[in-house]
Amino acid sequence: MNETDRLRIDKWLWFARVVKTRSAAAKLCEDGSVRLNGAKVEQAHKPVRPGDVLTVALAGRVKVLKVVALAERRGPYSEAQHIYEDLSPEPLRFDPPSPIVERDPGSGRPTKAERRETDRLKGWDD
């Protein structure tokens, strides 16, 4: 293919292995989950060319892909990696909260250890 050629956006997404089926790619376009150079794509037949930037909202993530080349077929993943450049931002990572939360004695619900100590003082552990 020449660089002046065009390829349907749904075909390109399928060739690039962004989605599993071409109909899934078409559905993404029709749902408004794809942007081409910042403009929302509502039709799967919109053409893409090398140099275009696609923004795809997929499974709770956002992928930003720059079209580097047009493919002639849907090949293995190793070939698909060569037709785009991934410009996606790094996912946000949050440090999980500490599992041990310190609290002042006597405030809030007693811990299991405190309940056992209370039971021992009352003589219920016999």
- In the predicted model, is pLDDT for residue 123 greater than 60? yes
Instruction: Say yes or no to pLDDT of 3 above 60.
Output: no
Higher model confidence: residue 104 or residue 30?
30
DSSP designation for 81:
G
* CB-neighbour burial class of residue 64 (10 A; exposed 0-12, middle 13-18, buried 19+): middle
- pLDDT for res 6: 86
Determine the pLDDT at residue 65. Answer: 93
Determine the Cα–Cα distance for residues 17 and 56; give it in Å rounded to an integer. Answer: 13
Q: Which residue, 26, 18, 30, is CA-closest to 62?
A: 18
- The string of DSSP codes covering 59-109 is TTEEEEEEE----SS---HHHHGGGEEE-PPPPP--PPPPS-----TTSSS
CATH topology assigned to domain 7-86: 3.10.290
Domain ranges of the chain: 7-86
Q: Residue 35: its pLDDT value, please?
A: 94
